[in-house]
Amino acid sequence: MKVALISLDQKWEDKTYNLNRCVELTSRAVAFGAELMIFPEMTLTGFSMNTCQVAEISATSSSLHAFREIAKKYGIWLVAGVVLQEEEKAANTLVVFSPDGDEQARYVKIHPFSFAGEDRVFSPGRLLVKAQLLEFRLGFSICYDLRFPELYSALAKDCDVLVNIANWPKRRINHWMALLRARAIENQVYVIGVNRTGMDGNGLEYERSSVIIDANGDCLEPMITEGEIDIYHLDHQLLDTFRSGFSTRQDRVPDLYRDII
């Protein structure tokens, strides 16, 4: 499977500009043979807690409609982040669309980033979300979720690839890389991290750090890099070979972990 990671330089809370960039980048990635596009967290706004301004009602969401149409027009799988309004708070949400434009999965971030006050305006999700994409089964997470290994252990029970979309600042980028590697090594899966670039409306700087880590903890090399696009090839056989040659998953004791955590 050819996967395009989009290190989008998001323009702060400008949905029109960011959507146009998503269309342009999708068109270019498809020309390179990409089968799956993955965009950063809160794709069309950047990490904004101004939910009165950026949140959308699910049934009438222009962002959901736009991503659906992009997937359908270009015949590609697409993963993106949106802010959806719930009863009292908003939901930091990841959505997955199939090449025919159907929504295949919707994940709400389980761990709001309380250090920055995200929990005051965003409701936490309570469900694990997975989806079958071509020959791979993917599990989904958003940004701060990466610091909680229990989530990834649960997803990895029947997933081959764990995806995290993020707005992870440059000042803690060493944590980003270390945690992505740890999640891949401990679960013997591919881990995909897609992070934004540029500067946000809060003055936080982001650096290019989207990456795919294999089950051995090594960063894969992209087949193609152009602008904000990196295209990788994921090989299921390589993952199977690694697991069969050095397997640790069978030695877990989840009943014990539940009792002691």
Q: Which residues are catalytic?
A: 41, 109, 143
List b or e across 50-88, with b for residues whose CB sees 16 or more CB atoms inside 10 angstroms: ebeebbbeeeebebbebbbebbbebebbbbbbbbbbeee
What contacts 158, CB < 8 A, 6 or more positions away?
130, 137
Say whether 37 sits in a helix, a strand or coil.
strand
The first and second tokens of residue 114, run together, are 């309380």
What contacts 28, CB < 8 A, 6 or more positions away?
226, 227, 229
Residues 108 and 127: beta-carbon distance below 8 Å: yes
Helix 62-74 to helix 15-31 angle, to the nearest 10 degrees? 20
Which of 214, 210, 173 has the alpha carbon at shortest distance from 191?
214
Q: What is the DSSP letter of 187?
A: H
Residues 6 and 197: beta-carbon distance below 8 Å: no
What contacts 209, CB < 8 A, 6 or more positions away?
7, 168, 173, 176, 177, 193, 195
